[in-house]
Amino acid sequence: MEYSRPTRHATLEVTVSSYENYSEVSRIYDHMRRPVGVQQTLDWLSRSAPAGTLEILDAGCGTGQFSEVLLPYVRALQCVELNPGMLDVARGKLLGAGAAVTFHQGDLLELPLADNSVDGACINQVLHHLPDDDSWSLMRRAFQEIRRVLRPGGTFVFNTCTNEQLAKGYWYFKLLPERTLKAMGARYAPLDVVNAQLAAVGFGEIEHHVPDQVIFGDNYLRSDGPLDSDWRRADSTWTHATPAELDTILQRVRDMQAAGTLQAWMHAADASRRGVGQVTLVAAQG
Ligand SMILES: C[S@@+](CC[C@H](N)C(=O)[O-])C[C@H]1O[C@@H](n2cnc3c(N)ncnc32)[C@H](O)[C@@H]1O
């Protein structure tokens, strides 16, 4: 199959994310978020070549959370990130790695890497920020780019969420209006579409895994989290609520807090996460 280099999508030249301000988020991201599914990601990536010899691309690396944990197991890392604030945090975090890490401020739809140049690649929680539509053409373009830069036999690991995970895997989403969840759900391609798009650009041997971890780590079961703007900022779903909707939500949380019922409400709302999880990892062979 022939892979043509994609042309740049005009919207991305100015927005980075189609709805989140990552220059602000870079300030708090590492206080709130934890990388999820690292062991499985590493196990899959290590299929391409023995651990320690791998050259890996972390596309949309953000503050470098995945890169940091992958670093001890790889020979070299290529970190690509569009937002300069997020990339600066990654640079600071990975300073000690020296020449093993190369940073690129760039777009994963137009990767600044040569064809067949990496053994493995991951995209973790990024593609829902593309201004994609029902045809998922930008997701497909991202998959094409990954396929282009992967060496033959290389592994691609894609970390995403299903709509069921959005509906059941995050207790605080149950505070949000149905409309906001629909808006968020529409940004994540269904897994059958992901599988079909991967196959369409030439990937095979597609596998899925749901890790039993939460993206906020110890910060997740904080019942007063919604009252903390930094806590909310670490999950872009909140950006879909209007200021009036947010006021109503925060008042409800304060009311439950005052009534002493908030903690129990949170645990009840979290019960549906069991067996569903928060994220889905997809592996595909190039
Ligand atoms: C939710 S964060 C995930 C960061 C990191 N992968 C992680 O799992 O911690 C999404 C990141 O994708 C970046 N991003 C969004 N669109 C991008 C694009 N077209 N090219 C490169 N990075 C992009 C954002 O700037 C942000 O840092």
State pLDDT tens for residues 71-121: 999 999 999 999 999 999 999 999 999 999 999 999 999 999 999 999 999
Q: Which distant-in-sequence residues (6+ apart) come within 8 Å of 47 by Cβ?
A: 155, 285
pLDDT of residue 11: 38
Residue labelled with tokens 């749901």: 210
Q: Which CATH number fits domain 12-163+185-219+275-285: 3.30.450.190, 3.40.50.300, 3.40.640.10, 3.40.50.150?
A: 3.40.50.150
pLDDT of residue 163: 95
Count each helix (H run) and each strand (E run) in the chain, helices first: 12, 7
Nearest protein Cα to ligand 1, atom 14: 60
pLDDT of residue 267: 98
Query: pTM value?
Result: 0.91
pLDDT of residue 2: 28
pLDDT of residue 16: 54
| Cα gap 3→100, rounded to integer Å | 28
Tell me the two tokens of residue 177: 């209006």
pLDDT of residue 133: 84
> Cα(235) to centroid of ligand 1, in Å?
13
Q: Residue 8 — very low, low, confident or very high, per pLDDT cuts 50/70/90?
A: very low
**Is any ligand 1 atom within 6 A of the Cβ of residue 197?**
no
Q: Residue 171 — very low, low, confident or very high, per pLDDT cuts 50/70/90?
A: very high
pLDDT of residue 26: 86
**Is any ligand 1 atom within 6 A of the Cβ of residue 12?**
yes
Which of 14, 80, 129, 184 should be mutated for ligand 1, with most atoms under 8 A from CB?
A: 129
Q: Residue 51 — very low, low, confident or very high, per pLDDT cuts 50/70/90?
A: confident
How much is the average pLDDT of 129-156? 94
pLDDT of residue 245: 94
> Cα(132) to centroid of ligand 1, in Å?
15
Q: Which of 141, 283, 286 is nearest to 203 (CA)?
A: 286
Nearest protein Cα to ligand 1, atom 22: 60
